[in-house]
Amino acid sequence: MRINNNVRGILNFNKKRMTYSLKYALLFSILSALIVASLIPVSAAKGWDFLWIYFGITTFLIANTLFSFFIERKGKFNNTRIIIIAIILVPLSHWLFWYGFLVINYIEGIFFNYQMDKITNPINGIIGASVYSSVSLIFIAWIQIPISIALSLFFKNKKVSNEKIDGLLKNNINIKQ
């Protein structure tokens, strides 16, 4: 039985490498979620038990998007660009997390008929997310920003060394043929 190349590529998915942005986003989102999870027992109100999961998901989505669009697609793996994106990522992920949290609470309030005067609507949620994110940045960003920069530079160095090894292997194969 003959298998065409498309099917063969699907069957050999484990041979494909994870991209730089995906590796970074996975590890950074897990670390960020663990940081938030360590703070929840101290400061959380009722119903905020799963906050760390939502924060990890938001951080993953933002980190993967920023690094894939601004670093990988452009092919510019210089230290300055990576550090700037790593720093921008932290406040942006905090703000989007809180805005998403407020919008989800608003939608939940509509479906379950909560008193709407206690729930922030999506328009006012823009300002509310700014206030909440500024408070969370005070407690979490001083841990997240150095981790973000260190991870981004670590994975950049791993990518550069892997590219050098791949180049050497390709040159070695071409010379022997």
Residue 142 forms part of a structural domain: yes
**pLDDT for 145 beyond 80:** yes
pTM more than 0.85:
no
Residue 13 lies inside a defined structural domain of this protein: no
Range of the domain at 106: 18-164
The answer as to whether 11 is a domain residue is: no
Whether the CB-CB separation of 32 and 63 falls below 8 Å is answered with: no
Q: Does residue 176 lie in a domain region?
A: no
Please report whether residue 6 resides in a domain.
no
Q: How far apart are the first and last CA of the chain?
A: 31
Structure confidence at residue 13 as a pLDDT band (50, 70, 90) = very low
Q: Could you tell me if residue 1 is inside a domain? A: no
Helices of type H across the chain: 5-11, 20-43, 51-67, 79-111, 122-136, 142-176
Instruction: Quote the number of domains for the chain.
Output: 1
In a domain, residue 80? The reply is yes
Q: What's the pLDDT tens digit per position in 42-93?
A: 656 666 778 888 999 999 999 999 988 888 887 777 888 889 998 999 999 9
Whether 174 maps to a domain, the answer reads no
* pLDDT level of residue 38 (50, 70, 90 thresholds): confident
Q: Which amino acid is at 155?
A: F
